Structure 1
Amino acid sequence: MVGFLVIILLVPLSFINSLINERAFRQQDVVNEINEKWGNDVLVYGPVLKLPYKTYTETKTFNEKTKTYFKETQTHINYAYVFPEELHAHVDVNSKTLKRGNFESAVFTTQMDFSGHYVPVHLTSKGIKTEDIIWNKASIIIKTSNLKGIKSEIQIKLSDTTYSFETNFNQNNNSSLDVLESSFINGETLFTDTPTNFTFSMTFNGSRQIELIPIGKTTTMQMASNWADPSFMGNYLPNDETKQITNDGFKADWKVLHINRAFSQQHLKSIPNLNQFAFGTKFMVMVDEYQKSERSAKYGFLVIGLTFLIFFLIQTLSKIHIHPFQYLMIGLALTMFYTLLVSISEHSNFLKAYLIAGISVIVLITFYSKSILKTIKFPLFIGASLSALYAFIYVIIQLENYALLVGSIGLFLILAIVMFVSRKIDWNNG
């Protein structure tokens, strides 16, 4: 009968899990709405030198009257895209939380300062003659995933001259990134004889992650933030020697060489989609309140089973009769812990919610068991056992890397204690 009641109580536990998932989905909807208004992921792809050049095609036309062919040459304008020799990024990120009702989202404001240089441009290896390049129509391209989140005007300084950027809605784009393009520059004076230095800055409101595509022949990025739980992502990880992660934030440095990636420095006709080569940082919330509640609810079967087992052993050892209805009431009280936990955690932090829900349920079951068992020592033992069990589950929930190990050892010890206590029970005459 006790085993059957445990199975019956799995029904309200499943409804509680559904409630937690529903609230978690609601939280994600609110987070997405906040991020959409504040700013989404940040990905920067640039600067790229855009050079128009001429190509020619010849067509032969037969003249019926003269019975001869004549040639006609047509001129076409295509574009070459040249990546910088060096690209250096210094990224400072200030993270904070935005709240809406009971929900909150982690967002950030980032200042990204870029510098580097181009080497003199020669496209003869691509079959393009220098005289066919339209140098006075050159421009600089920057792509980004978060056009809406840009919070300052963007200007690039090439040598001693500054150029502004505008959105290029007519750009044929083979990726999901938006395009910013500078005004026309005189490329012949800037990119033909000596290396050309550049600097520019971008300020973003964003959320979730910051990424950079390493288009420099040598690309470096230094990132610093007050976020304590970074997750480094992409094809390239930061240098272990300089990486620092503390409770006050993190610092990380990357260096990517052209030999580390599978694309060249010059491209004709279109800019390739290189999103797969991006690297950077995801600003993670390691375990949010609903994840903790969901993980706690997964141990509901264990809590109910062990509590029923304690009552069953007390009943067997003391010969005190406990009615199945009383078992059911105790089980329902245990399931109420999770609804209390979810509802209170929406208005407070998880630790306070866990303490309030745990103490409420433990006190309720302790007093209820006193009326059943007609003594004080068994209810106190039950209260202490439940306290230890909830404390053990809380520790497991907080752990990330060692949760499975600690949980397995804890369950093994619980099983050993139960076997030790029940070793002398005569089950044939019980």
Structure 2
Amino acid sequence: MTDHSVQTGQTRIDRSRSMGLKLILVGALVVLLGAPLALVNLLAWERANRAETVSAEVGAAYGGAQEMRGPFLVLPYTIDREMEVRDANGRTRREMRTVTETIVLSPDTLHLTGALETRILHRAIYDVPVYEAGLQMSGRFDTGAAGDVLPEGGTIDWTGARMIYAVSDLRGIGEDFRFTLSGRRALRFEPQSDFDRLGPDGAAWRGMAAPVANLRPGEAFDFEGALQISGAGRFALLASGRETTADVTSDWPHPGFDGQYLPDTREIGSDGFTASWRVPYLARGVPAAWVEGRGYTLNQASTALFAVNLVTPADGYAQVSRSLKYALLFLAFTLLMFFLIEANGERPVHAAQYVLIGLAQVVFYLLLLAMSEHLGVWAAYGVAALATITLTAGYALTIFRSQPRAMVTFAGLTLTYLVQFVLVLVEDYALLIGSGLVFAALAATMFMTRKVDWYGMTAGVEGRASPAN
């Protein structure tokens, strides 16, 4: 055995064994790089919270997310009830007391028409969609329904009748609430900060109330109302009528519908949307009339909402967050690609070089986050990906000293970032695609390392056999 053959065999043994250790190193490095990725994720979360805070501040000054609830007719009545009272000596006894309670009536019919004109407000780098809404309403009340729920012995005080209407933020109201009964009686609404007299839950209501004069027992009447209101982000209406229909139009091309009822019909285009609702009595789940605080409350009735959200398309922070979910996976793919090129070539890749390659991929997500706030998420993704691919492929050229291997690196990275882009777009299929990619990467690793002598046994045999030659 010559010194040269022994040295060659030993070199092959050392390289084979080092590849096994290198693969373990790559796996450990992927785990360790999870720490800086977590910091980028935290930064993305902080920036998203900052954007939400700014949107909330701007939106609040414009009225915020508005919910319109009503109208409801409130009828006070008196009734004698046995109550527990305490005398001067501290003894309790039961006696009859006259108390005032409240009946709440829903409209028999209610039709709502809302028209939203939107615009974008700017603060620093943030855009906040706001709206000016014109709300028209019409319908009919039948006070005869009060007799169906009036407790025996109760007497309605018709002079104390009030019409109430709740709005999330009264600051958004642009002009007086115009409301007429039967086309002749105009009601004058005043701000009312609480409705404590309506029952234990009434204090949660904020809005307006107007006395209804000259209301006769059992009277049925039509009503019409008009309200100009500004808000931001969300526009919600309450299906307060026994039968409720609504039509909402807007110039905003990206609506999102929520609440208990989705539109029966909708048309969405680049110039805006039109949506219509019809909520029948049984679907509403709210009685036509009830005694407040005795089995049912206004707060319970206020859940029968349907709403439109002014959705901002391609929310940059949401897309960056989704991209970060796959960061470790694609970081592993990148380092694995370098390992496979090294395993099938002659030039080794130092551990420090693996660290730098991994850090370059981490910086991609930082660039994506920073540039998405100014360029938009998709343009930012393209610029950040191109910069990272070019940097990493150029570094591969200096490592492998081979233009073909550098081109393979460039192509592999391009494919990796394209696939990640697709995963961000098709969230519903992300698990399926990701699982397939992991399987494909494992299969490629097994195939490309099938001839690697992990223990270096072949090299050792060749070294010992050389004297026979």
The TM-score range, normalised by the shorter chain, is 0.7 to 0.9
Specify the alignment match of 2:243 in structure 1: 218
Q: Distance in 2 between matches of 1:374 and 1:311?
A: 14
Instruction: Mark the structure with the bigger radius of gyration.
Output: 2
What TM-score results when the alignment is normalised by the length of structure 2? 0.80
Question: Secondary structure at 2:144's aligned position in 1?
Answer: coil
- How has the CA–CA distance of structure 1 residues 228 and 411 changed in structure 2, closer, same or farther, with 3 Å as cutoff? farther
The 5-angstrom pairing of residues 177-196 of structure 1 reads 177-188=205-216, 192-193=218-219, 195-196=220-221
Specify the alignment match of 1:69 in structure 2: none
Shift of 1:352: 1.8
Once the two structures are superposed, residues 3-58 of structure 1 have per-residue CA deviations (whole angstroms, 9 ceiling, x without a partner) of 23222222211211121112122222212212221222222221111223343569
Specify the alignment match of 1:255 in structure 2: 278
When the two chains are superposed, the root-mean-square deviation of aligned CA atoms in Å is 2.8
- How has the CA–CA distance of structure 1 residues 118 and 377 changed in structure 2, closer, same or farther, with 3 Å as cutoff? same
- How has the CA–CA distance of structure 1 residues 399 and 201 changed in structure 2, closer, same or farther, with 3 Å as cutoff? farther
Once the two structures are superposed, residues 203-235 of structure 1 have per-residue CA deviations (whole angstroms, 9 ceiling, x without a partner) of 222223222222211111122233344332222
Aligned counterpart in structure 1 of residue 329 of structure 2, from 282, 290, 302? 302
- How has the CA–CA distance of structure 1 residues 317 and 187 changed in structure 2, closer, same or farther, with 3 Å as cutoff? same
Residue type of the alignment partner of 1:328: V
Is 1:360 equivalent to 2:383 in the alignment?
A: no
Q: Distance in 2 between matches of 1:245 and 1:405?
A: 31
Q: Percent identity?
A: 30
> For structure 1, which segment, 252-261 or 372-381, has the greater mean C-alpha deviation from structure 2 after superposition?
252-261
Specify the alignment match of 2:114 in structure 1: 91
Q: Distance in 2 between matches of 1:130 and 1:394?
A: 71
Shift of 1:120: 4.6
Q: Distance in 2 between matches of 1:103 and 1:86?
A: 42
The 5-angstrom pairing of residues 14-25 of structure 1 reads 14-25=38-49
Q: Do the aligned partners of 1:123 and 1:129 also contact (CA within 8 Å) in 2?
A: no
The 5-angstrom pairing of residues 374-413 of structure 1 reads 374-413=401-440
Aligned counterpart in structure 2 of residue 106 of structure 1, from 126, 129, 149? 129
Count of residue pairs the alignment pairs up: 413
- How has the CA–CA distance of structure 1 residues 73 and 364 changed in structure 2, closer, same or farther, with 3 Å as cutoff? closer
Is 1:281 equivalent to 2:308 in the alignment?
A: yes
Is 1:272 equivalent to 2:295 in the alignment?
A: no
Question: Secondary structure at 2:349's aligned position in 1?
Answer: coil
- How has the CA–CA distance of structure 1 residues 214 and 170 changed in structure 2, closer, same or farther, with 3 Å as cutoff? closer
Specify the alignment match of 2:56 in structure 1: 32
- How has the CA–CA distance of structure 1 residues 219 and 390 changed in structure 2, closer, same or farther, with 3 Å as cutoff? same
Once the two structures are superposed, residues 119-166 of structure 1 have per-residue CA deviations (whole angstroms, 9 ceiling, x without a partner) of 252533334699943334422111122222222210211112222211
Question: Secondary structure at 1:382's aligned position in 2?
Answer: helix
Gaps of 5+ in 1: 60-71
Shift of 1:264: 1.7
Gaps of 5+ in 2: 1-24, 84-94, 460-469
Shift of 1:187: 0.9
Specify the alignment match of 1:143 in structure 2: 166
Q: Distance in 1 between matches of 2:27 and 2:444?
A: 20
The 5-angstrom pairing of residues 163-174 of structure 1 reads 163-172=187-196, 174=202
What TM-score results when the alignment is normalised by the length of structure 1? 0.86
Question: Secondary structure at 2:374's aligned position in 1?
Answer: coil
Is 1:328 equivalent to 2:352 in the alignment?
A: no
Q: Do the aligned partners of 2:41 and 2:324 also contact (CA within 8 Å) in 1?
A: yes
Specify the alignment match of 2:367 in structure 1: 340
Shift of 1:73: 9.4
Residue type of the alignment partner of 2:234: Q
Shift of 1:425: 4.6
The 5-angstrom pairing of residues 152-167 of structure 1 reads 152-159=175-182, 160-167=184-191
Q: Distance in 2 between matches of 1:412 and 1:97?
A: 46
